[in-house]
């Protein structure tokens, strides 16, 4: 089906309904906010400007013999050759201290690379690999704090995504509670499994292959079955496991390639685009029905009251057509 | 408490957690997208341009002796003296026809007034009264269709809110299912009632009076206890009832005054601002624990991945302080 309108309910998150309506795409007004920043004269995340951010809680250094070394600047002092750098957010929403007037938790920034330009950074998947390796290590260490129940990792790219700095960086939020959206998914995965004796994401991967637009041995990139924006993408490991922390080093490399290819392909099709990205993972092995994944929301449309107030999302393209468009963009490169 | 950071969970919607963090307000970058439309030479909702929109399913006419007359343009033809006009969306996401390639439902536009400028329109609450009276009538008639399970009414104002036309108008979405956000609230109201033998909104009105910034005999305007944006406002009837359709004509007039005063006060404090607004109401008397209300989201901040991917909202002002700021703005007028 390539035109008209249908209703779809997300398999793994009961809080979402999508109406696919190709007629809506014909509306005369289509507003895009600018994605440029007013002042880009100074970047606090670029090498040389470390003093403008707090000391790193974790940084990755690669020694001359190729060995990965993790260090904290509080203990080791600054090492100017860092490859990836993690530090507390200068304007935190949470802090790992009791008795002060701030909600307990961790709110950190992970500078993914020394390279200021995202496209340049993405072109070599090894850069992404270094960032992910450091991310995994930092999450592990934060989880040693028994007060922390969950860690969510997000990325905001561009003004429309809520970003204030362009240099490639992730944000880490470690909470003393399970965030509502993770709770919704735990509920959704559990119910789908009880009703179908199968994981909803495993089902999606095996049954809706036409939604997949990139894959390698370990991961697939696909357009969501019930997307909230036309190009909403999931990156899903083929191997069912509840946690990002469970992936092997080989899988980590495949994930780096997947992330790099996915974002560059979207950029090729959409031009410069703003996006939100997050890791949906849990850390509790008793909830092994959960299937961890990454969600990417390219912000090409604006949500209105129906989306926010009803939880019903209107998109103007069929997910199967979007996936096909992206597959074509990839095959043209070969 | 006026500084620092605290965590709050919404009483009636379990899908929402807010972190109030006054430190976040000190971030150096604060981006506001423009709210102006490129071309405003022609307005299809202004009187005289009726032929550019579909025939009205319902319109309000006030006869020379002051009587309210509802008519449909399909039956009565066009009456150029309409006061409020409702018609199917030209680019619908839903349509009330079977056997065509469109999800079943109603997607209509309610032009609230002949007046193009919102501020002018709001300054006389009678204008709002006419719009609400017509809205109530149209919802009633749509609900005569047995396939319709729920009707949600929304308003998008400005580019950031997803609007494409500035002339004051509401949108009506009638669905064959209960929208997810309404489902979340039904669950939340029920649970709060079971645990506390009280309605969460009645509790809020009686216990958190410092959040109220405007009230009259029938309605209160208050800042949300766990807001998703700093100025998030609820308009709540003092009388507990599950449905907007249950309000009397007197209450309708009080609601018009409340809406008018609330939006004009927010405008006084925020300047020109974009917003989403929706009616959260149900129509099923067996769920009488529900308390209908209006929610207004002034879009002064941009949601990022934490808000969208975790369901955790960071605001940089204490709701009690925001309410006090708005109370002051109102009292200055007297």
Whether chain B has a CB inside 8 Å of the CB on A69: the answer is no
Distance CA(B318)–CA(B149), nearest Å, equals 37
Beta bridge partners of A12: none
Q: Quote the distance between the C-alpha of residue A116 and its chain's center.
A: 19
Whether chain A has a CB inside 8 Å of the CB on B282: the answer is no
What confidence tens digit (pLDDT) does each residue in A55-114 have?
999 999 998 898 999 999 888 888 889 999 999 998 888 888 865 667 889 999 999 999
Q: At B278, is the secondary structure helix, strand, or coil?
A: strand
**Confidence at residue B20, expressed as pLDDT on a 0 to 100 scale:** 79
Virtual torsion, Cα A233, A236, A242, A247, nearest 10 deg: -130
**Confidence at residue B96, expressed as pLDDT on a 0 to 100 scale:** 87
CA diameter of chain B:
61
**Confidence at residue A31, expressed as pLDDT on a 0 to 100 scale:** 41
Pairing of strands B312-315, B17-21: parallel
**Buried-state track B189-227, b at ≥16 Cβ within 10 A, e below 16:** beebbeeeeebbbebbbeebeebbbbbeebbbbbbbbbb
Q: Which residue of B has its CA nearest to A163?
A: B304
Query: Looking at chain B from residue 114 to 143, which residues have their Cβ under 8 Å from any Cβ of chain A?
Result: none
Non-local CB neighbours of B199 within 8 Å, separated by 6+ positions: B189, B192, B193, B240, B289, B291
**Confidence at residue B34, expressed as pLDDT on a 0 to 100 scale:** 44
Q: Which residue of A has its CA nearest to B177?
A: A17
**Chain B hits for A292, Cβ within 8 Å:** none
Say which of B16, B173, B302 has its CB closest to residue A310. B173
**Chain A hits for B4, Cβ within 8 Å:** 100-102
Query: Looking at chain A from residue 4 to 33, which residues have their Cβ under 8 Å from any Cβ of chain B?
Result: 4-7, 14-17, 19, 21, 23-24, 26-29, 31, 33
Structure tokens at B326: 């708005």
Query: Looking at chain A from residue 183 to 212, which residues have their Cβ under 8 Å from any Cβ of chain B?
Result: 183-184
Structure tokens at B148: 């319709």
Going by pLDDT thresholds of 50, 70 and 90, the confidence category of residue B31 is very low
**Confidence at residue B30, expressed as pLDDT on a 0 to 100 scale:** 40
Q: Are B204 and B11 in contact (CB under 8 A)?
A: yes
Whether chain A has a CB inside 8 Å of the CB on B92: the answer is yes
Q: Which letter does DSSP use for residue A24 in this model?
A: G
Question: What ipTM score was computed for the predicted complex, to two decimals?
Answer: 0.93
State the average pLDDT for chain B.
Answer: 91
What confidence tens digit (pLDDT) does each residue in A257-279 have?
999 999 999 999 999 999 999 99
Q: Are B122 and B264 in contact (CB under 8 A)?
A: yes
**Chain A hits for B165, Cβ within 8 Å:** 29
Distance CA(A34)–CA(A84), nearest Å, equals 29
- Under-50 pLDDT residues of chain A: 1-2, 29-34
**Confidence at residue A30, expressed as pLDDT on a 0 to 100 scale:** 40
Whether chain A has a CB inside 8 Å of the CB on B277: the answer is yes
Structure tokens at A98: 């009791």
**Which phi-psi region, left, alpha or beta, contains residue B70 (left: φ > 0; alpha: ψ -120 to 50)?**
beta
Going by pLDDT thresholds of 50, 70 and 90, the confidence category of residue B100 is low
- The mean per-residue pLDDT over the stretch B294-319 comes to 94
Q: Which residue of A has its CA nearest to B176?
A: A7
**Confidence at residue B22, expressed as pLDDT on a 0 to 100 scale:** 73
Say which of B33, B154, B184 has its CB closest to residue A305. B154
Whether chain B has a CB inside 8 Å of the CB on A309: the answer is yes
Going by pLDDT thresholds of 50, 70 and 90, the confidence category of residue B1 is very low
**Interface contact A311-B181, CB threshold 8 A:** yes
**Interface contact B310-A93, CB threshold 8 A:** no
The neighbour count for residue B309, using CB atoms within 10 Å, is: 25
Domains defined along chain A, listed by start:
7-21+36-333 (3.30.428.10)
Going by pLDDT thresholds of 50, 70 and 90, the confidence category of residue B101 is low
**Over pLDDT 70: what percentage of chain B?**
92
Query: Looking at chain B from residue 152 to 171, which residues have their Cβ under 8 Å from any Cβ of chain A?
Result: 152, 154-156, 159-165, 171
Q: Which of A25-29, A192-196, B22-26, B133-137 is least confident? A: A25-29
**Which phi-psi region, left, alpha or beta, contains residue A48 (left: φ > 0; alpha: ψ -120 to 50)?**
left
């Amino acid at each position: 089906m390539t035109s008209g309108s249908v209703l779809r309910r997300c398999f793994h998150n009961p809080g979402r309904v999508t109406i696919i309506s190709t007629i809506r795409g014909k509306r005369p007004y289509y507003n895009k906010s600018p994605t440029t920043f007013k002042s880009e004269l100074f970047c606090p995340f670029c090498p040389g400007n470390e003093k403008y951010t707090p000391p790193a809680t974790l940084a990755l250094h690669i020694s001359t013999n190729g060995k990965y070394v993790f260090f904290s600047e509080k203990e080791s002092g600054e090492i100017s050759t860092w490859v990836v750098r993690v530090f507390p957010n200068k304007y935190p929403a949470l802090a790992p201290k009791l008795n002060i007037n701030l909600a307990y938790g961790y709110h950190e920034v992970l500078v993914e690379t020394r390279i200021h330009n995202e496209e340049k950074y993405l072109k070599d998947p090894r850069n992404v690999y270094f960032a992910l390796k450091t991310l995994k290590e930092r999450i592990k260490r934060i989880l040693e704090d028994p007060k922390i129940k969950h860690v969510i990792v997000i990325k905001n790219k561009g003004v429309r995504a809520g970003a204030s700095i362009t240099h490639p960086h992730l944000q880490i939020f470690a909470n003393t509670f399970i965030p509502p959206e993770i709770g919704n998914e735990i509920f959704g995965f559990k119910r789908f499994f009880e009703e179908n004796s199968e994981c909803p994401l495993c089902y999606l991967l095996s049954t809706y292959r036409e939604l997949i637009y990139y894959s390698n041995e370990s991961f697939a990139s696909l357009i969501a079955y019930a997307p909230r924006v036309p190009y909403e993408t999931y990156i899903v490991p083929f191997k069912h496991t509840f946690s990002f922390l469970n992936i092997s080093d080989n899988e980590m490399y495949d994930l780096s390639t997947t992330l790099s290819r996915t974002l560059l392909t979207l950029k090729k099709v959409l031009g410069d685009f703003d996006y939100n990205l997050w890791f949906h993972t849990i850390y509790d092995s008793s909830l092994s029905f959960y299937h961890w994944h990454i969600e990417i929301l390219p912000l090409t449309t604006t949500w209105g009251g129906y989306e926010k107030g009803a939880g019903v999302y209107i998109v103007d393209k069929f997910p199967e057509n979007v996936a096909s468009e992206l597959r074509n963009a990839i095959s043209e490169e070969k």
